[in-house]
Structure 1
Amino acid sequence: MMASIADTSGVLDIVNDEGNETDYGSEFSPEEEQIVERLLSGKIEIEDNPIASQSEHNDAQQSLRMPRVLGRGHRSALYEAASAAERIASQISHDAQYPDSRRHTPDVSGEMRSAGIIEPALPDTRSPLQRFRAEPRKALSVTDLVSPAWCQLQYWYTLTIPGKKKRTSAMRQGSVVHRKLEEEIYTTVKIEIQTKEDAWGLRIWNVIQGLRTLRETGQTRELEVWGTFDGLVVNGVIDELSYVCPNLELEQSLEKKTAQKELLPDKPTIAEFLKNQKATIFGASPTPAASYRGEKIYICDVKTRAVETLPAESAFRPTKMQLMLYHSMLESLGTSQIDFDIIKTRYKLETEKKFSDSFIAQVGNLNSEAVYDKPEASQESGQWSRDSITTLLAHNSLSALWGLMIQEFQITMPKGTKSLGDVLKAEYRSRENGQILGAKTFLMDTIGLKAYVQREIQWWKGEREAEGVVIEEAFKCRSCDFADGCDWRLKKVDEAKEKARMNRKRTSTV
């Protein structure tokens, strides 16, 4: 009885000549078997793969986000002029303002090598961190840490093989959905940036605006956050923050466990606590702003899909890690655990340097023009918008503006870590029309996140080799451009053949 290996659309199964499956292919869960069926029928697409479908936010350093907290009333001439100039400003890339000196150095190595003047380059033994995220390149992003959760080796190939990292149609369509969601809350206007300190000032100012919008309206979108892990700077953009609990039953189960451990005689009973919690979540009106303060903040990440089904658990892991990273970074900012000196050093920022007059004038004036006179306008909203220039002048440096941002975090999270909900939500929307397809919720797992990040940082630092998927997740290879030449995949095929041979040998012995 001979055994053979069948490789169908990236799914490895061991079969014998009689058509019976060996024990190697029996480890698929029912959920994964459904995935395999969809793969074989061609009904699954690449949207589960964050490497191929998730796009990063690249315009934070040039875009001012003005809250729509008071509606779209009459726009001033200044606002109209800024909007008209947006088309021109969008053509001026950030690289044109801060040119990388390496771009002005002719690359003659290829010509010299072909002429026999120099020898072929030796294999690059630097760590991924040194090669792709060291100065003057960008720092690590949340995407950098969670994409390997799909397949670390695929992300490695994406970084190292030129021309393979491209913007897919899934990324483009997903960006459209995200932009429309953001436009429900903000109007985006391009700002002319003169220095990198201005660029960072704009990023910090947008966070301040985002936190104030959250307190004003109960919701904010596209909030940039920073964190440090093992001394490395990591940044990301949270899709949505709100005061609405995404899964009350899950929240109540967590609160019940916590209350059982910490309940004291002078505290309310569990039933009273849960009753009050439920009334708070569902009974609060969107206005006025004060009704939101003091409640828990919940994190949501929006994913777009071309199919109506939600991802299987094996494909959901990158999203889980992404949301937990956001939670950890938001918690660190809200409790003043981020050392701005680490960020200053990483980006070589002059944190005491004053912002340019142009930056203050543009941001301050446009923010003032973003608020329109309406009877229902809250006094606080109008006040902080009208006083934008005064605020910027009073915090006219990165160090001062960062300090103001931390104060805003503390106001938004008055109870520190207890102000941040541990129920995390991934919302799935149609890539075609933006309609909600469904959602997945789960609880924050600090221990699990710490172990995951530690292992990923080891790889980025070159302390271990990149690894491919386990055999049970070989279906992921279907959406990989590198599957045909993947050493890890070929190694797994050899291991599967060897296992089949050993099984056959044991069978014949018996």
Structure 2
Amino acid sequence: MKEGTRVHKDLEDEVHVTVRIDIATKEDAFGLRLWNIVQGLRTLRDTGLTRELEVWGFVDGNLVNGIIDGLSSVHPDPEFERELRRSRELQPNIADYFPPRKPGNEGASQVYLTDVKTRGKRTTANAASLRPAKVQLFLYHRFLSDMAADKLDYLRVFRRYNLDPDEPFSDSFLAQMANLHDEEFFDASETETDLDGDFAAPPLSGASDSSQSTFTQQQQQQQLSSSGRFDSQRSSPPRQPDLIKYGTLRELVPLLVAELRQTFPHGPDSVGRLLSVEYRYQLDGSLIDTRIFPMDDRALDIYLEHTMGWWQGKREPRGVSIEDAWKCSTCEFSESCTWRKGMDEDRLRSVRRRLEMKRESNG
């Protein structure tokens, strides 16, 4: 997992430069997550590619979050999609993969999701290994589509994390974020100039934690101090602290919604329905294989209904399929697993029956 994390970080560093941000409250921490999404969406619009974009969604009332490894405006396989669309004439249910677009959206640009998996050997993944990645991307596609359609209830998300949407961000957090986005944090018509021309940041409070934010290479050069950290006193046109915008989570949400609307102007239709999984070698991050498949809402609904049935206590647990039995070798509960014991007993009974039938036929 450490090697896999390194590969993901290397890929992210190709798009973003990590900047360290001090945070003092849990509202600061979540605000930083929202700002990272905003920055990721802007990077996607500017460059056609972004990585590590966080999304949220609800499954049977349960909040689920995830991070999309890659979003790109480059189509992963145009010919594959054309073949799938042509097959709609022969298989009407193929329309589930590519439902008709709304009038006026035909030919509009789309954004495509990619997940990155690392492998310790230069071997391609089998169907059993691909299945979890497909479900993961199905979920991310649904969550991102709902966010693009402005269907996500952010206040509900805040309640789940026990966050106060009206709690002001800490002074230190605001100062650091304002250094990056001062044109958005302040009313440009209400400015003052002090004698030394330094940024008139709000007073800094003692920060108790730190996290990270991501910005493009160009933004990094403009906004980092020589120490590699934000310089809250860097030279810039001073602003009035009482004119700060986005001082709370509630105030930040409209900005995020606007960025989503700008990035996905046609809502869910702007989210491409071809998904891809990249398999990369752990040692050097080189590409081993890419699997491409269409979004399948029906398959996701069936999977969620089956899985949530167990979590909600509506059905008994079931063992993995035979092709997934290799996972038992790393399961900490394998020694006490009643499913494995039952399978072993069934195999033993089957062998005994065959031996008895063989003896009777020879007798």
TM over 0.5: yes
* Separation in structure 2 between the aligned mates of residue 327 and residue 228 of structure 1, nearest angstrom: 13
Match of 2:158, as an amino acid? K
Q: Which residue of 2 aligns with 1:398?
A: 249
State the TM-score, normalizing by the size of structure 2: 0.75
Q: Which residue of 2 aligns with 1:490?
A: 341
Listed one character per residue, the Cα deviations across residues 11-60 of structure 1 (whole Å, up to 9, x for unaligned) are: xxxxxxxxxxxxxxxxxxxxxxxxxxxxxxxxxxxxxxxxxxxxxxxxxx
Listed one character per residue, the Cα deviations across residues 197-233 of structure 1 (whole Å, up to 9, x for unaligned) are: 1111110010000001000000000001000111111
Q: Which residue of 1 aligns with 2:6?
A: 176
Superposition pairs of residues 420-439 of structure 1, within 5 angstroms: 420-439=271-290
Q: Which residue of 2 aligns with 1:339?
A: 153
> Structure 1 residue aligned with 2:76, among 235, 246, 265?
246
> Structure 1 residue aligned with 2:262, among 411, 429, 453?
411
Question: Kindly tell me: are residues 414 and 267 of structure 1, through their superposed partners in 2, closer, same or farther at Cα, counting changes over 3 Å?
Answer: closer
Superposition pairs of residues 24-423 of structure 1, within 5 angstroms: 171-256=1-86, 294-366=108-180, 370=219, 372=221, 393-423=244-274
Q: Which residue of 2 aligns with 1:466?
A: 317
Q: State the shift of 1:333 in Å.
A: 0.5
Match of 1:440, as an amino acid? R
Question: Kindly tell me: are residues 509 and 364 of structure 1, through their superposed partners in 2, closer, same or farther at Cα, counting changes over 3 Å?
Answer: farther
Question: Kindly tell me: are residues 190 and 508 of structure 1, through their superposed partners in 2, closer, same or farther at Cα, counting changes over 3 Å?
Answer: same
1:301 touches 1:323 (CA, 8 Å); kept in 2? yes
Q: State the shift of 1:393 in Å.
A: 3.0
1:250 touches 1:423 (CA, 8 Å); kept in 2? no
* Separation in structure 2 between the aligned mates of residue 351 and residue 245 of structure 1, nearest angstrom: 38
1:215 touches 1:412 (CA, 8 Å); kept in 2? yes
* Separation in structure 1 between the aligned mates of residue 100 and residue 60 of structure 2, nearest angstrom: 35
Question: Kindly tell me: are residues 508 and 470 of structure 1, through their superposed partners in 2, closer, same or farther at Cα, counting changes over 3 Å?
Answer: farther
* Separation in structure 2 between the aligned mates of residue 395 and residue 257 of structure 1, nearest angstrom: 49
Secondary structure of 2:80's counterpart equals: helix
Kindly report the root-mean-square deviation, in angstroms, between the aligned alpha carbons of the 2 structures.
Answer: 3.0
Match of 1:488, as an amino acid? W
Question: Kindly tell me: are residues 194 and 473 of structure 1, through their superposed partners in 2, closer, same or farther at Cα, counting changes over 3 Å?
Answer: closer
Match of 1:434, as an amino acid? G
Identify unmatched segments of 5+ residues in structure 2: 183-217, 223-235
Secondary structure of 2:118's counterpart equals: strand
Q: Which deviates the most, 363-372 or 416-425?
A: 363-372
Q: How many residues align?
A: 302
* Separation in structure 2 between the aligned mates of residue 478 and residue 336 of structure 1, nearest angstrom: 44
Q: Which has the larger helix fraction?
A: 1
State the TM-score, normalizing by the size of structure 1: 0.54
Match of 1:295, as an amino acid? S
Q: State the shift of 1:476 in Å.
A: 2.7
* Separation in structure 1 between the aligned mates of residue 155 and residue 175 of structure 2, nearest angstrom: 27
* Separation in structure 2 between the aligned mates of residue 402 and residue 495 of structure 1, nearest angstrom: 56
Secondary structure of 2:315's counterpart equals: coil
Match of 1:247, as an amino acid? D
Q: Percent identity of the aligned residues?
A: 40
1:245 touches 1:251 (CA, 8 Å); kept in 2? no
